[in-house]
Amino acid sequence: MQAAIHFISGLPRAGSTLLSAILRQNPRFRAGMTGLYPDARVICCVRDVPWIFDSIERLIRKNKLQPSGILNFEPGGTVYSRVDGLGGPNGMVGYAWNALREAFCGEQSDRLLALTYETLTSDPAKAIAAVYDFIGEKPFTHDFENVEFDAVEFDRRLGTPGLHAVGRRVRHEERRSVLPPDLVRKYESDAFWRDPARNPNNVRVV
C-alpha cells in the first residue's frame, strides 16, 4: 500500500514536537520534527503569539550562559531586543507567522488544518481525533500519559537545551507570563486564525 505523506508545520513553540511525539505512538506513522505531494495535507500548529515568545524567553533564561542558535548565538540583549528580533520579518516567529498568513489565503488553503496549542494540551483526544479525520486515517488509541520524544543532541548543537523537550504527560499549564505587559499587549491580537474576517477561506481551526 502506498504511504501517504503529510506535513506538520506552523508556528514555533506551538506544539509540533508534541504532536509528532503523540502520533509516533501509532505504528502506522512515522513523525519527526523536520522534513509537496499532490495529496499531502498540512497540519499547522498555532499558539497565541505572546505565549510563543514567553516559551522562548523561558528557554533563553534557563540557559542564559549558553548563546542560542535561535538568536544567532548572540549573547546578551534584553527581552525587548530578543522579541523584536524573533518577531521581525526574518525572525524565527515573524517569518513563520507571515508564511502562515499567506498560506491561509493561498490556493491550497483547503489542505490546511490549524491545530491550536491550547486544544492540543487541554483536550488532546479532541485534537488528535481532528488530525485523524483531517488526514483520513482510522482512529488509534493514544496514551497521553506516556509521551516520548528525543531531540537532545539536536537541541545541544543549537545551543538551546530543552527546545524540543516534551513532558511525559500531555497537560495544559496555567502560568504567569515572564514577558512585560506591554509586550503581551503588542502581540495579543496576532492570533489571526481566531478571526473569521482574517480567515477568508475558512481554514478549519481546532
- Output 193 or 76, whichever has higher pLDDT: 193
Q: Is 15 left (phi over 0), alpha (psi -120 to 50) or beta?
A: left
* Mean pLDDT computed over 109-127: 96
Q: Is the pLDDT of residue 155 over 60?
A: yes
Q: What is the pLDDT of residue 38?
A: 60
Q: What is the pLDDT of residue 164?
A: 80
Q: Is the pLDDT of residue 35 over 60?
A: no
Q: Residue 7: which H helix or E strand, with range?
A: strand 7-10
Q: What is the pLDDT of residue 37?
A: 61
Q: What is the pLDDT of residue 33?
A: 53
C-alpha cell, 85:
528580533
Q: Is the pLDDT of residue 17 over 60?
A: yes
How confident is residue 29, by pLDDT bands cut at 50, 70 and 90? confident
Q: How far is the C-alpha of 188 from the C-alpha of 204, rounded, in Å?
A: 21
Q: Is the pLDDT of residue 31 over 80?
A: no
Residue type, 120: L
pTM exceeds 0.75, yes or no: yes
How confident is residue 99, by pLDDT bands cut at 50, 70 and 90? very high
Helix 124-135 to helix 16-23 angle (10° resolution) is: 80
Q: Is the pLDDT of residue 16 over 60?
A: yes
Domains recognised in the chain with CATH numbers: 7-205 (3.40.50)
Q: What is the pLDDT of residue 1?
A: 45
